[in-house]
Amino acid sequence: MEPTTPFSRRIFLQQGVTLASLVGTIPWFVQQSAVGMLSADARVSSQAGVPEDRILVVVQMSGGNDGLNSVVPFGSDDYYRARPQIGIAAPGKENGALALDQKAGVGLHPNLKGLKDLYDDGKLAVVQGVGYPNPNRSHFASMDIWHTAQRSGRGDGWIGRYVDCTCNGSPAADAQVAIGRSAPLAMIGTTAKPVSFEDARLFQWMGKELPGSLERPYDQMNRAGPLGGVDPGSQAAFLMRTALDAQLSSDRIRTAIGRTPLVAYPGSRLATQLRAVGAMIRDDLNTRVYYVSQTGFDTHSNQQGAHGNLMRELSEAIVAFQADLKAQGNDSRVVTMVFSEFGRRVKQNASGGTDHGTAAPMFVLGSPVKGGLHGEHPSMTDLDNGDLKFTTDFRSVYATILDKWMVAPSKTVLGGAYPALKFLRT
C-alpha cells in the first residue's frame, strides 16, 4: 500500500529524502508512522495550536556564574564591604558598571556592553534573584535540579518532557539539538532524544564504522540506493536504512554549518557554537530547541580577570548571534535564555574569588522579549548563612517560556503551577 497523505512542497523538500530512504525496506506500519510525521503543513508532528516556527535557544553558564558581578548592585554599600577587592566599581568610575537603573542601583558588568545595547533596545530582560527553595551547592546536583525542574533532580529533562508533550509521541529526530560533548539531561525525555555533537565536521555516519558483516551492503546502499542481496523486510535492511537517515541528517547539518554566515562571529568557543545554531536556523531545520554552553565559571580564585573575560565572550557571542538572526530575518522567531546552576557567595574569599552560592540573575533576550529588570534583586543584608535568598523561582522562568512562547502546558511539563513573569511581548 502506498502512502496517500498529501505533502506540501516545503515539507517534501525538507524531509522527503529521509522518508524516501524508508520506503520498501521497513514494515508498512512504520512507513505509515513516518507519513504521519510528515503530514501537510507540519514541520514536526505536534498538537494543534503549537507555534512550530518558534525557537528557544538555551545558553548554559557552567560552573556557577557570579551573579553579583554580572548584575551589579552598585547602590549597596554592603556589596562593596563584602567584596573590597573584586567588587565592580559604580558607574562613572574606571571599569565601572553599566547602569541599568540608577534608582535601583543596579548595573551590568562593564564587559557586557553588547548586552547593555540590547537592554537599551528593549530586547534584554534581566530576571533577578533566580533560584529555588533549599538550594544545593553541588555543581552536579544543582544542575540536575535545573535540568529536570524537579527538586529531587531525578526524572526526565524539562525540555525533553516539552517535546514529548507537544509531539504526540513522535518527535522529529532533529526537534532538539545540543552542541557539546554530551547531550544535557534537560533534553532527555521518555521519547525525545536530542541530536548532539561537539564538532559538526565529525557529525557523520561512515559506512566503514559499521561491523564488517554490514559494511559492504551499507556501502552499496549508500552509493546506489537499492540493497543488493539484502531482504527488504529484514532487520538488517531496517537498521541500514536508519543508518542512512542518520547520514542524511548529518549531511544536512554539516552543509548548513559549512555556509558562510551573514555576519562576522568572534573566535570564542561559545561564539562558534552560536554560529552553528544560527546556520541551522537559517537552513530552516525542524529544530525547536537549541542548547549550547559556556564553561569556566567556577571562579574560586583570582576571579576578576577570568570572570571579566567570560562576560566579554558571552556578550560578544550573543550580540553576533542576534545580528545574524536579524540579517536572516529570523530574529522574531527566536528567544534566548541564559542561566547558570547557582550564583556565588556574597563575600569574597581569601583567594580573590568566590565560593558556591545560591541565587543569581538570568538573561532572556530577543526581539519577542519585553526588556527591563524583572523580579526583585535579593537583599544584601537579609542573607541565608552568607548567601542570597532567591526572589524568583527558576521554574517561573521556564513556565513563562513554555506557556507564552512555546505555547505548551507548563503545569504538565513542570509537574506544577508557577507564577508567570512578564518578560515576553506575546
What digits encode the pLDDT tens for the residues 211-233?
A: 444 444 444 444 444 445 556 66
The least confident of 84-88, 200-204, 392-396 is 200-204
Whether the per-residue pLDDT at 15 is higher than 60: the answer is no
Q: Is residue 169 part of a domain?
A: yes
Q: Is residue 236 part of a domain?
A: no
Whether the CB-CB separation of 423 and 127 falls below 8 Å is answered with yes
Please report the pLDDT score of residue 286 as a whole number.
Answer: 86
Whether the per-residue pLDDT at 41 is higher than 50: the answer is no
Please report the pLDDT score of residue 26 as a whole number.
Answer: 40
Arithmetic mean of pLDDT over the chain: 84
> What average pLDDT does this structure show over 418-422?
97
Look up the CATH number of the domain holding residue 120: 3.40.720
Q: How far apart are CA 112 and CA 314, in angstroms?
A: 8
Q: Is residue 332 part of a domain?
A: yes
Give the tens place of pLDDT for each residue, 304-346.
999 999 999 999 999 999 999 999 999 999 999 999 999 999 9
Please report the pLDDT score of residue 174 as a whole number.
Answer: 75
Q: Report which listed range, 176-185, 283-292, 395-404, is most confident.
A: 395-404
Rounded to 10 deg, the angle between the 235-258 and 212-224 helix axes is 60
Q: Is residue 249 part of a domain?
A: no
Whether the per-residue pLDDT at 34 is higher than 80: the answer is no
Whether the per-residue pLDDT at 86 is higher than 90: the answer is yes
Please report the pLDDT score of residue 254 as a whole number.
Answer: 85
Angle at Cα 209 formed by Cα 203 and Cα 213, nearest 5°? 145
User: Higher-confidence residue: 272 or 220?
Assistant: 272
Please report the pLDDT score of residue 195 as a whole number.
Answer: 86
> What average pLDDT does this structure show over 63-82?
98
pTM: 0.83
Q: Provide the percentage of residues in the chain whose pLDDT is more than 90.
A: 68
Q: How far apart are CA 321 and CA 1, in angstroms?
A: 46
Q: Is residue 243 part of a domain?
A: no
Please report the pLDDT score of residue 161 as a whole number.
Answer: 96
152: how many CB neighbours lie within 10 A of its CB? 9
Please report the pLDDT score of residue 172 as a whole number.
Answer: 67
The least confident of 29-43, 80-94, 212-226, 391-405 is 29-43
Q: Is residue 55 part of a domain?
A: yes
236 band by pLDDT with thresholds 50, 70 and 90: low
Count of domains forming the chain:
1
Residues 6+ apart with CB under 8 A from 156: 148, 164, 188, 189, 190
| Helix spans in 177-234 (H) | 212-224
Determine the structural domain holding residue 95 and report its residue range: 51-202+266-414
Closest CA to 394 of 156, 151, 120, 215: 151
Whether the per-residue pLDDT at 418 is higher than 80: the answer is yes
Q: Is residue 253 part of a domain?
A: no
Closest CA to 310 of 109, 174, 147: 109
Closest CA to 192 of 122, 93, 286: 286
Please report the pLDDT score of residue 226 as a whole number.
Answer: 46
Whether the per-residue pLDDT at 355 is higher than 50: the answer is yes
Please report the pLDDT score of residue 175 as a whole number.
Answer: 87
Please report the pLDDT score of residue 197 as a whole number.
Answer: 87
Please report the pLDDT score of residue 7 as a whole number.
Answer: 37
Q: Is residue 7 part of a domain?
A: no
Please report the pLDDT score of residue 192 as a whole number.
Answer: 86
